[in-house]
Amino acid sequence: MSGKPIIKPTVKPSFPAKMDLSVGKGVNTRLQAIAPNPAQTLQRVKAIPSALAKPVPHATAVPMGLGMDSSTFRARMVSKLASQGITDARVLNAMQATHRHSFVDTALANQAYEDTSLPIGWGQTISKPNVVARMIELLFEGKTGNLGRVLEIGTGCGYQAAVLSHIALEVYSIERVAGLYEKARENFRPFRIKNTHLLFGDGMLGFPKGAPYTGIIAAAGGDAIAQAWIDQLAIGGRIVAPVTNKVADKAVSEQSLVVIDKTETGLKRTVLELVQFVPLKSGVI
Ligand code: SAH
């Protein structure tokens, strides 16, 4: 493991004007505590109670002086999402409730509510709010009531997992880069999100212990939908994932958003718009 210690700067950015990101975000001293192999981490996760009665309205820690300012920025972001065609109130509410600025580096916090992807370290990016909202809307399309368990492949900084945690009964999110797994844990800490399990491992294998899932969502694009995801999907469940298009004569590979619905009678595959995601890779680093 070659992760650099994540040192949060003590001088905070000037946006939003009164924003104080220091609460709950001290210097990361836990880096050495990463389990040396995925099995250990997964065991640690196993100890978490698995079934929750209903989605939990999280006790979100609102740092002093931040409340009004950041929620105004989020409200603006949410109305833009609505104007871009996101209609599911559950998704819009979750986007309003999730502090995107707390999941990106402090130096980028002033861009957190713009519709842009942002670097999160280790060569990875957090998706645009519009893409996060669109994918989650697709994941829960047509589903009401108990929304069941969701598996996210590619935790990254943890933002999308946090959004999902407001809508799904339970979320399992798996990350292959140890440094990002650790960063997501750090980002989650102030929010005390109880229905989400962050895992370190190769998401191409899914996470059988949490299966069957109502939804599986990938934040990285592979050449195909992994068989393990299909196997771990419940009947009536849905996978939403970017998949590389096989275009022989193109230098740059393209990805499309793919939806797989698992029914009693088989799988239904729907190919949607072109998208751009970081590559899905096997193994852990
Ligand atoms: N949902 C994330 C987006 C992170 S970008 C967020 O909100 O920040 C995609 C992530 O997928 C990267 O962190 C990358 O390391 C991870 N990834 C790629 N292949 C993976 C795999 N096989 N298993 C788990 N994570 C993977």
Q: What is the pTM of this model?
A: 0.80
Q: What is the pLDDT of residue 250?
A: 66
Starting at the edge strand that comes first in sequence, how are the strands of the sheet with 266-275 ordered?
196-200, 170-175, 149-153, 213-218, 233-244, 255-263, 266-275
Task: Report how far ligand 1's centroid is from the alpha carbon of 157 (Å).
Answer: 9
Q: Where are the domains of the chain?
A: 118-275
Nearest residue to 77 (alpha-carbon basis) of 4, 148, 145, 133: 133
Q: Is 110 exposed, middle or buried (0-12, 13-18, 19+ CB in 10 A)?
A: middle
**pLDDT given for residue 147 in this prediction:** 85
Q: How far is the CA of 127 from the centre of ligand 1 (A)?
A: 10
Bridge-based pairing of strands 124-126 and 196-200 is: unpaired
pLDDT at 59: 42
Closest C-alpha residue for ligand 1 atom 23 = 203
Residue among 118, 151, 175, 182 to mutate when testing ligand 1 (max atoms within 8 A of CB): 175
If one residue of 281, 282, 285 were mutated to test the ligand 1 pocket, choosing by the most ligand atoms within 8 A of its CB, it would be: 281
CATH node for 118-275:
3.40.50.150
Token code pair at residue 236: 């009536």
Nearest CA owner, ligand 1 atom 11: 154
Active site annotation includes 127: yes
The pLDDT assigned to 282 comes to: 96
Tell me, using a 6 A CB cutoff, whether residue 139 lines ligand 1. no
Q: How far is the CA of 175 from the centre of ligand 1 (A)?
A: 6
Instruction: Per-residue pLDDT tens, the chain, 285 aa: give them.
Output: 344 444 443 333 333 433 333 333 332 323 223 333 333 333 333 333 333 333 444 544 444 344 447 999 999 999 999 999 999 999 999 999 999 999 999 999 999 999 999 999 999 999 999 999 999 999 999 998 878 999 999 999 999 999 999 999 999 999 999 999 999 999 999 999 999 999 999 999 999 999 999 999 999 999 999 999 999 999 999 999 999 998 776 666 799 999 999 999 999 999 999 999 999 999 999
Q: Is the CB of 165 under 6 A from ligand 1?
A: no
Q: Among 70, 102, 127, 165, which one carries the catalytic annotation?
A: 127
In 3-state terms, what secondary structure has residue 119? strand
| Atom of ligand 1 lying closest to residue 177 CA | 15
Q: Which among 285, 230, 239 has a CA at the least distance from the CA of 260?
A: 239
pLDDT at 191: 95
The protein residue whose alpha carbon is closest to atom 4 in ligand 1 is 156
Ligand 1 atom 10: residue of nearest CA: 154
Ligand 1 and 153: CB distance under 6 A? yes
| Bridge partners, residue 119, by sequence | 125
Ligand 1: does its nearest atom lie under 6 Å from the Cβ of 127? yes
